A and B are shown apart, each in its own frame.
Chain A
Amino acid sequence: MSEVIGVIGAGGKARPDSAAESDVILELRHVTKRFPGVVANDDVSLSVRRGEIFALLGENGAGKSTLASMVFGMYEPDEGQLFVRGTETRITSPAEAVALNIGMVHQHFKLVSNYTVAENIVLGDEPLRRVAGVLPWLDMRGAEQRIADLSARYGLEVDPCAVIENLGVSAQQRVEILKMLYRDSEILIFDEPTAMLTPQEIEHLLNIMRNLRREGKTVILITHKLDEIKQVATRCAVLARGKLVDVLEVADTTTAKLAAKMVGYDLALTIEKKSAALDNAPTVLQVDHLTVEDDNKFPVVNDVSFRVRAGEIFAVAGVAGNGQTQLADAIAGLAAVKSGAISLDGVDLTQMTVRQRARAGIAYIPEDRHGMGLILDLPLLQNLGLKSYFHHPFSQRGILQTEAFEHHARRLIDDYDIRAGQGPRTLTRQMSGGNQQKAIVAREVELDSRLLIFVQPTRGLDIGATMAIRRRILDQRDSGKAILLISLELDEVLALADTIGVMYGGRMQKIAPAATMDRYQVGEYMMGARASTSASASTSTNASISPNTPATSAAPATSAAPEASAAPAEVQAGTGTQQG
């Protein structure tokens, strides 16, 4: 076994000489962690220096979250040692990690929804005062003051008295950061922190990380987004299939090189996309003044109008929870329409059932692939027949024809490169997420529908599967299908869209050809920063709700982020593709 020092230098570079820089705060030596059936971390050795932003890069399942979880005491390593500030340490619980001034922002926030920011932050470490000299009483006012001070010092902009459920994702994340700061954490671990944020919010977060570093904190950033690493990290460890591939000085490398290290081979991150000729294309889907209400009579989709033409990808961008899912459900027939109309090829669908709509020509790849897309405990062949089991050749005189299912499944497995251990009979639950999604896409594409609705089609998939699905979407467009794509991943929208619609608060804020919008403009509409009537760059297509004002296209308000453009453009398609 090589010395740890050798591993640090594995990138082929000499260690920096400066004593301050090589002040190691955290060190892992030969750490291995196994879960039933997988080796999540295999003999990983690395060290993190005080005051740096250290990135852990890798695909889904590469073992980066497991590694960080061990540092935070959620798991214990099966083999290997952990050194904190030079001392070998066993961290058996998050509480012990906190005692060692290690904090972590999880992907799923651990916040009590009906508590205030301050109550959440003090939880487990509450300040008390004594009423009448004896009675212990929570001292929230003192805590609120301290939190407000911390918030101001690090530029977090959090109101300690706000109630969590009234805050957005980004603010909740900043509460998690405050939680760590309140406990004087010195090592701050961020697990995929930008997965749910808009570009502007990501900028804010990266700035906060810079502030943390400036104040002497050490940040460990788990991510698969290369441009973020390029922007803030000092060094980057690349993990693949549980093994440490390399540790690189970020300043000396490129995102393309990082990507190659991550997947193990040079990956074409761009997708060839022919521009669509839409001028004479017939309208396939027409949505007019559609309003959908939720259980509380709140209009989650509010007076939305747009159309999707044959051979067009209409991509809906937006932060989660702004009505996109309900819009897709309403078109597919899964949500009741309050008012407005939906028509396909001129035929009004508004009163039709789900199956009638499917037969009229709508294919639907839902967001929740486990809950709505598949029946996990059925074999693959039945899942592939879910939309067609009731007619010939799958069903004859009311009796299911197993042969037909099997034959159909074999063909789809070949055509769509679905990897299933036991062929058509594989239990769907045992397949990987990427192959499950490929199965859904195969089933829906095979329906040969006029319109395909894709909701979050690549969520949680690795780069390989993501690229395969995106190519499939483009193939469908090129063969003249109308595509409605709903995605929370702005990179995906920008990579695929012919036309972009941005939803905010249930309204379609903006509809414009993809070529006329950049990511920051889309980001502003995603946050509702611009009214739907201002600065419309579209003059011709699709703008049924925005008046055709001339293209004024003011400079993006957040162009104060020059690093954002530092990442090579060709990487953009592939860098933000996964969520864990």
Chain B
Amino acid sequence: MNTIIIDGLSFALPLLIIAIGGIYSERSGITNLALEGLLGFGAFSGGLFVAATAGVFAPTSQVPLYLSFLVAAGGGALFSILHAVLCIKFRADQVISGVVVNIVSIALTGFFTSTINAAVFGQASNKFMLSTSPRLTIPLISKIPLLGAVFTNFYPFEVIILVLVALCWYLLYRTRYGLHLRAAGDNPQALDAAGIDVARVRFKAVLMSGALSGVGGMCFAYSISTNFSPAIYFGSGYLAIAALIFGNWKIMPTFAACLIFGFARSAAYQLVLALNADASVADLAMITPYVITLLLLAFFAKTNRSPRALGELYDKSKR
């Protein structure tokens, strides 16, 4: 049971920060199917940073680990400029742009990883090795039955994410920028009439989604494989989109959705272990979060309301 909670959280929280990235973009009115590509590019950036600085820091230093999250955020934000420029400047179809970003991300990171490995590090590999992330346990509290599992064996990034979530909530709901962002997704004309530059607000929102996705991608790189490889593209970006839709484009309900997905996944995994089933059955069991996604969306999609101007091109002259 403890394992389910521990693994569930370590999956749910990165998923949440990616989903919040999606919320930022979509609440501002830009459909963002590019989360998958953004998180991959962010993880690639972080991985490259760790590989490139391997000799700079002491082997036991934790500094590159923390810095890699910053670099991943930067990389994700940088790559999201592609989506922002396509959607806002060139007024491309936002769905198509998102898909393009995903495809480009997979191709680019795969190419660069292999090339850089061959040219700089002199080895044929499509991976950047990362150091193993430490795991923390809080004494005493972790001894509480069941609830203690939350404080047991967690990754440092889980704490970072929780702090980020609080900041994101504050920014979205309690600041001027947040008010502008949410208005841009409901009625951009109203925002424009209030003298605010809609394109600018949206551009920042997409950058924000890139940065948050990058952090989430880096977390997965540490927790799932301890390296950066194309395996980072396992669909978590799409799952994050499902979570934010299920969460009605709001941060707290999306948190709940991510927890459900995380626990469903870890529970399925434990079930497979307990049954000692073979690999093909295990693969089948691992689709549980996605099956749950389908079922939940089927039931809740009707009551949920997407941002009114989501996916709409904003045309100043349209009145």
A571 nearest CB across to chain B (Å) = 30
CB closest residue in chain B, given A191: B319
Chain B residues within an 8 Å CB radius of A119: 179
Q: A123-B179, A126-B176, A126-B179 are in contact. List 7 more A-B contacts (CB 8 A).
A: A111-B190, A113-B187, A114-B186, A124-B191, A124-B194, A136-B175, A138-B176
Judge if A95 is at the interface, Cβ distance under 8 Å: yes
- Is B186 within 8 A of A123, CB to CB? no
Q: Which of B174, B186, B195, B319 contacts A112 (CB 8 A)?
A: B186
Q: Which of A110, A114, A138 contacts B193 (CB 8 A)?
A: A110
Q: Give bound CA distance, A128 to B179, whole Å.
A: 12
Chain B residues within an 8 Å CB radius of A112: 182-183, 186-187, 190-191
Chain A residues within an 8 Å CB radius of B196: 123-124
B5 nearest CB across to chain A (Å) = 33
Judge if B127 is at the interface, Cβ distance under 8 Å: no
CB closest residue in chain B, given A111: B190
- Is B308 within 8 A of A123, CB to CB? no
Mark contacts of B120-140 with chain A using CB atoms, 8 A cut-off: 1 yes-contact digit, 0 otherwise: 000000000000000000000
Chain A residues within an 8 Å CB radius of B193: 94, 106, 110
Chain B residues within an 8 Å CB radius of A120: 190
Q: Which of B183, B186, B192, B193 has the most CB of A within 10 A?
A: B193
CB closest residue in chain B, given A127: B176
Mark contacts of A102-120 with chain B using CB atoms, 8 A cut-off: 1 yes-contact digit, 0 otherwise: 0000101011111100011
- Is B194 within 8 A of A123, CB to CB? yes
Among residues 157 to 207 in chain B, which have CB atoms less than 8 Å away from a CB atom of chain A? Answer: 170, 174-176, 179-180, 182-183, 186-187, 189-196
Q: Give bound CA distance, A57 to B176, whole Å.
A: 39
Q: Give bound CA distance, A260 to B50, whole Å.
A: 81
Chain A residues within an 8 Å CB radius of B190: 110-112, 120, 123
Judge if A298 is at the interface, Cβ distance under 8 Å: no
**A108-B319, A110-B190, A112-B190 known; A123 and B174 CB under 8 Å?**
no
Chain B residues within an 8 Å CB radius of A137: 174-175
Binding site for B on A (CB under 8 A): 93-95, 98, 106, 108, 110-115, 119-120, 122-126, 128, 135-138
Chain A residues within an 8 Å CB radius of B174: 137-138
Mark contacts of B10-37 with chain A using CB atoms, 8 A cut-off: 1 yes-contact digit, 0 otherwise: 0000000000000000000000000000
Q: Give bound CA distance, A135 to B169, whole Å.
A: 14
SS class, residues of chain B in contact with chain A: helix
Chain A residues within an 8 Å CB radius of B187: 110-113
- Is A113 within 8 A of B186, CB to CB? yes
28 CB-based A-B contacts, threshold 8 Å = A94-B195, A95-B195, A106-B193, A106-B319, A108-B319, A110-B189, A110-B190, A110-B193, A111-B187, A112-B190, A112-B191, A114-B182, A114-B308, A115-B186, A120-B190, A122-B179, A123-B179, A123-B191, A123-B196, A124-B191, A124-B195, A124-B196, A125-B194, A135-B170, A136-B175, A137-B175, A138-B176, A138-B179
Chain A residues within an 8 Å CB radius of B176: 126, 128, 136, 138
CB closest residue in chain B, given A69: B319
Chain B residues within an 8 Å CB radius of A106: 193, 319
Q: Give bound CA distance, A94 to B190, whole Å.
A: 11
CB closest residue in chain B, given A73: B195
Q: Give bound CA distance, A93 to B193, whole Å.
A: 9
Q: Give bound CA distance, A256 to B24, whole Å.
A: 56
Q: Which of B179, B182, B190 has the most CB of A within 10 A?
A: B190
A192 nearest CB across to chain B (Å) = 12
Chain A residues within an 8 Å CB radius of B194: 110, 123-125
Q: Give bound CA distance, A487 to B186, whole Å.
A: 30
- Is A123 within 8 A of B175, CB to CB? no
B67 nearest CB across to chain A (Å) = 26
Chain B residues within an 8 Å CB radius of A126: 176, 179
SS class, residues of chain A in contact with chain B: loop
- Is A93 within 8 A of B179, CB to CB? no
Q: Give bound CA distance, A108 to B193, whole Å.
A: 12
CB closest residue in chain A, given B183: A112
Chain B residues within an 8 Å CB radius of A115: 182-183, 186
CB closest residue in chain A, given B184: A112
A580 nearest CB across to chain B (Å) = 10
Q: Give bound CA distance, A94 to B197, whole Å.
A: 12
Among residues 183 to 238 in chain B, which have CB atoms less than 8 Å away from a CB atom of chain A? Answer: 183, 186-187, 189-196
Mark contacts of B294-319 with chain A using CB atoms, 8 A cut-off: 1 yes-contact digit, 0 otherwise: 00000000000000100000000001
The 6 closest A-B pairs by CB, nearest first: A124-B194, A95-B195, A110-B190, A110-B193, A123-B194, A112-B183
Chain B residues within an 8 Å CB radius of A108: 189, 319
**A110-B189, A110-B193, A138-B176 known; A123 and B183 CB under 8 Å?**
yes
Chain A residues within an 8 Å CB radius of B175: 136-138
B241 nearest CB across to chain A (Å) = 21
CB closest residue in chain B, given A107: B319
Q: Give bound CA distance, A111 to B194, whole Å.
A: 10
CB closest residue in chain A, given B318: A108
CB closest residue in chain A, given B319: A108
Chain A residues within an 8 Å CB radius of B191: 112, 123-124
Chain A residues within an 8 Å CB radius of B195: 93-95, 98, 124
Chain A residues within an 8 Å CB radius of B183: 112, 115, 123
Q: Give bound CA distance, A106 to B196, whole Å.
A: 17
Q: Give bound CA distance, A113 to B183, whole Å.
A: 9
Q: Give bound CA distance, A110 to B186, whole Å.
A: 11
Chain A residues within an 8 Å CB radius of B308: 113-114
B187 nearest CB across to chain A (Å) = 5
Q: Give bound CA distance, A401 to B215, whole Å.
A: 66
A321 nearest CB across to chain B (Å) = 17
Chain A residues within an 8 Å CB radius of B319: 106, 108
B7 nearest CB across to chain A (Å) = 35
Q: Give bound CA distance, A128 to B176, whole Å.
A: 8
CB closest residue in chain A, given B178: A138
B55 nearest CB across to chain A (Å) = 40
Q: Give bound CA distance, A95 to B176, whole Å.
A: 17
Chain A residues within an 8 Å CB radius of B170: 135
A388 nearest CB across to chain B (Å) = 36
B33 nearest CB across to chain A (Å) = 23
Q: Give bound CA distance, A120 to B183, whole Å.
A: 9
B264 nearest CB across to chain A (Å) = 30
B29 nearest CB across to chain A (Å) = 12
Mark contacts of B63-86 with chain A using CB atoms, 8 A cut-off: 1 yes-contact digit, 0 otherwise: 000000000000000000000000
Chain A residues within an 8 Å CB radius of B186: 112-115
Chain A residues within an 8 Å CB radius of B179: 119, 122-123, 126, 138
Q: Which of B187, B194, B319 has the most CB of A within 10 A?
A: B194
Chain B residues within an 8 Å CB radius of A125: 194
B21 nearest CB across to chain A (Å) = 21
CB closest residue in chain B, given A122: B179
- Is B189 within 8 A of A123, CB to CB? no
Q: Give bound CA distance, A558 to B187, whole Å.
A: 36
B207 nearest CB across to chain A (Å) = 20
Chain B residues within an 8 Å CB radius of A124: 180, 191, 194-196
A164 nearest CB across to chain B (Å) = 9
Chain B residues within an 8 Å CB radius of A138: 174-176, 179
A373 nearest CB across to chain B (Å) = 22
Q: Give bound CA distance, A125 to B195, whole Å.
A: 9
CB closest residue in chain B, given A121: B194
Chain A residues within an 8 Å CB radius of B192: 94, 110
Q: Give bound CA distance, A112 to B183, whole Å.
A: 6
A35 nearest CB across to chain B (Å) = 11
Mark contacts of B83-106 with chain A using CB atoms, 8 A cut-off: 1 yes-contact digit, 0 otherwise: 000000000000000000000000
Chain B residues within an 8 Å CB radius of A95: 195
Chain B residues within an 8 Å CB radius of A94: 192-193, 195
Q: Give bound CA distance, A124 to B196, whole Å.
A: 6
Q: Which of A110, A125, A137 has the most CB of B within 10 A?
A: A110
CB closest residue in chain B, given A72: B193
CB closest residue in chain A, given B193: A110
Q: Give bound CA distance, A114 to B248, whole Å.
A: 13
A120 nearest CB across to chain B (Å) = 7
